[in-house]
Structure 1
Amino acid sequence: MNPKLFTPFYVRGLTLKNRIVMSPMIMCSCDEHDGMVTDFHLVHYATRAMGQVGLIMVEATAVLPEGRVNDTDLGIWSDEHIEGYKRLTSLIHKFGSAAGIQLIHGGRKNEFDNSLLAPSAIPFDDDRNIPKEMSIEDIKEIVNAFKDAVNRAKEAGFDVIEIHGAHGYLISSFLSPLSNLREDEYGGDEERRYRFLKEVIQATRTTWDGPLFVRISARDFHECGNTPETSVAFAKRMKSDGVDLIDCSAGGVVSGKSVKILSYPGYQVPYAEKIRREANIPTGAVGLITKGEQAEEILQNERADLIFIGRELLFNPYWTMKVADEMRHEIEIPRPYYRDRVGGRVRRF
């Protein structure tokens, strides 16, 4: 039986050749603090595509300059950014991978600017400035910024859009009762805390008919925060609003100084499993997934639909090829990497 890890995944008209996704990881590698794609990004992402990852998810990319987490992060707030992303998606596609982009506004976790925005005037930690509580006008402007960014991503040739709603950044801080103390229509119960993300999703869907993912923190790791049960409720709302897959991470809403997270291989997989089963929506599993057999177990037991690989793909851009070889499963690889052919059978090494 073929490993499920190397079976296609179909989502809203797109076919991924396997279930392996390069998890979005901020690289802080823009040379001029302008959010532009650099040679680093071209090499970094194209190499993982050459390594046969099914979907390359480009790191958190800011919809506004003040929405960056760090001033060397990628941006997509200007039409001037489009040409660099066209070069990037062209390279990713050339080597057979799909190209996704994660859109973000950093909110109160912005590390370089004093103009912090948040649902409520609560700093992320003692080292950050107190953010401005967003007005309704501020909210509308940022929703429109996401929509404009989606249009640019579409023009640049991306196949998948992912909205970053995790880790305490702006959307995540609206979702969590730890950071959202508003008393208007954007705060209070789950439905009102969800409203900002709902409007971002709706704005995205007015211009984007392709696959739409959302990354969430499925647990806040705080007794007064969101729980996996809360996240199931949010996931049901997202599915109804046109989201195709939930990328299930956790934490980040509260500073690591005040909560302790016990991490171990696959520690976040139960969140993907729970949301998949109870909200009846495809999920992506993340969290110290390092081995092929580990990823295969998750898929065979229907705990998630996609496997998001982070650090292992930083250490080894050819992780996909390595795992296929370990599983004795033939996949297409760049021809120069074949060693020779013996009796009609390809030998790779």
Structure 2
Amino acid sequence: MNTSQSVQALFKPFAIRNVNLTNRIVMAPMTRQFSPNGVPGSDVADYYRRRAENGVGLIVTEGTIIDHPDSSNQINVPHFYGETALEGWKRVVDAVHEVGGRIIPQIWHMGARGNVNEYSEADIAAIVEAFAQAASEAKRLGFDGIELHGAHGYLIDQFFWEKTNSRTDQYGGDMIKRTRFATEVIAACRRAVGPEFPIVLRFSQWKSSSYTAKLAETPAQLERFLEPLVDAGVDVFHCSTRRFWEPEFEGSDLNLAGWTKKLTGKPTITVGSVGLNGDFMSLFTEGKGAENAKIDGLIERLEREEFDLVAVGRALLVDPAWANKIRDGRLEELIPFTSEAVKSLY
């Protein structure tokens, strides 16, 4: 990886409500399934602490599941409910804070096992309450905010997308009605945590089942989609794309985070193969890793204030010191993302 441009823009402070970040680098949420029976252990605390003490401004944890029967079918994905799991997360928070880091949990429901049409309104109310309870626990444990996972075809996104939501009641129909479930979750979480606790929403156009999917085909449609989410209480949008450099709509170089900030005025996080030359699915679909890549274009966009924060996934997964190495110009020390490197992690 070579970069000829100053990285100063990445290391300017930023505030989300009353939470002050030392820089613009965010650790993206990455599922690892390293929490036996849903309980994060000391190894999980050490994992996040290493990234915090090596210069990451904000850590977003791997997806943590809410207290609902459908929320996950994977026993080693961490829970965000139950005394033992929450005690484990308290140790994580303390470990990160001890080294001056900031951390928020990603709160997650992995999706309906059938179709969202099968949920009754009582089912939906119970899920909304489970999200709110998780948000309340996050604040109690000392987290610095929460992120709601509304991307990639998981539950909130299943309500967003017309191909997975064919309901004809208040939760389905046109684009605005399909946001109702999300707005109820966001509003319930806001009531649970109060006005100053940061709420981040991660959303995507693409789905795990369709990389070309679009919730919004035009900027005008995207604005209509985002408006009720802002009104419900989102502070920051985490705009998930596979490649941050790709334009979201024809006729503009803005990516999804750029358009979202332009349309809402809210801070945004960009993400998608930052620091690497391949999209994140290639290791799993083709066995390919990725080499380190220049970040000049990323920094130019950040300096133009196209977005406010930059989420780094695989580069930080494989190299806990990525942020400090970038800051200090130790580019020759960066570790490439390969299957061999991944096997040696943790």
TM-score, structure 1 as length reference: 0.79
After superposition, the C-alpha distances for 1:106-147 in whole angstroms (9 at most, x for unaligned) are 113xxxxxxx25413xxxxxxxxxxxx111111000001001
Deviation at 1:300, TM superposition (A): 0.5
For structure 1, the 5+ residue unaligned runs are 109-115, 121-132, 251-262, 329-349
- Counterpart residue identity of residue 15, structure 1: N
Deviation at 1:280, TM superposition (A): 1.7
Residues 139-158 of structure 1 aligned to structure 2 (within 5 Å): 139-158=124-143
Question: CA 1:227 to 1:59, structure 2 compared with 1: closer, same or farther past 3 Å?
Answer: farther
After superposition, the C-alpha distances for 1:18-49 in whole angstroms (9 at most, x for unaligned) are 00000011111112x2x111232112111101
After superposition, the C-alpha distances for 1:72-119 in whole angstroms (9 at most, x for unaligned) are 1011122332211111001101111101111010113xxxxxxx2541
Deviation at 1:266, TM superposition (A): 3.0
1:76 and 2:80 are equivalent in the alignment: yes
- Give the number of aligned pairs: 295
Cross-structure match for 2:166: 181
What is the distance in 2 between the residues matched to 1:228 and 1:75?
37
What is the distance in 2 between the residues matched to 1:212 and 1:27?
23
What is the distance in 2 between the residues matched to 1:2 and 1:193?
40
Question: CA 1:158 to 1:117, structure 2 compared with 1: closer, same or farther past 3 Å?
Answer: farther
Q: Secondary structure at the match of 2:152?
A: coil
Equivalent of residue 96 in structure 1, options 89, 95, 100: 100
Cross-structure match for 1:283: 268
Deviation at 1:326, TM superposition (A): 1.5
Cross-structure match for 1:59: 62
What is the distance in 2 between the residues matched to 1:327 and 1:4?
17
Cross-structure match for 2:278: none
Residues 85-234 of structure 1 aligned to structure 2 (within 5 Å): 85-108=89-112, 116=113, 118-120=115-117, 133-209=118-194, 210-219=197-206, 221-222=211-212, 225-227=215-217, 229=219, 230-234=221-225
For the 8 Å contact 1:5–1:295, the answer to whether it is kept is no
Question: CA 1:62 to 1:227, structure 2 compared with 1: closer, same or farther past 3 Å?
Answer: farther
1:14 and 2:4 are equivalent in the alignment: no
Cross-structure match for 2:310: 307
Question: Is 214-223 or 241-250 further displaced after alignment?
Answer: 214-223
Q: Secondary structure at the match of 1:207?
A: helix
Question: CA 1:283 to 1:74, structure 2 compared with 1: closer, same or farther past 3 Å?
Answer: same
What is the distance in 2 between the residues matched to 1:118 and 1:105?
14
- Counterpart residue identity of residue 116, structure 2: P
TM-score, structure 2 as length reference: 0.80
Max Rg structure:
1
Cross-structure match for 1:5: 10
For the 8 Å contact 1:62–1:104, the answer to whether it is kept is yes
For the 8 Å contact 2:152–2:206, the answer to whether it is kept is no
Question: Is 36-45 or 287-296 further displaced after alignment?
Answer: 287-296
After superposition, the C-alpha distances for 1:195-249 in whole angstroms (9 at most, x for unaligned) are 0000001100112131110000135555775436343322222222221110001
For the 8 Å contact 1:284–1:305, the answer to whether it is kept is yes
- Counterpart residue identity of residue 217, structure 2: T
What is the distance in 2 between the residues matched to 1:166 and 1:84?
26
For the 8 Å contact 1:8–1:16, the answer to whether it is kept is yes
Cross-structure match for 1:128: none
Question: CA 1:211 to 1:182, structure 2 compared with 1: closer, same or farther past 3 Å?
Answer: same
Q: Secondary structure at the match of 1:18?
A: coil
Q: Secondary structure at the match of 2:306?
A: coil
Backbone CA RMSD of aligned residues: 2.1
1:29 and 2:34 are equivalent in the alignment: yes
What is the distance in 1 between the residues matched to 2:26 and 2:91?
20
Deviation at 1:70, TM superposition (A): 2.2
For the 8 Å contact 1:218–1:227, the answer to whether it is kept is no
- Counterpart residue identity of residue 232, structure 1: E
What is the distance in 2 between the residues matched to 1:242 and 1:264?
27
1:266 and 2:245 are equivalent in the alignment: yes
Cross-structure match for 2:235: 244
What is the distance in 1 between the residues matched to 2:171 and 2:245?
33
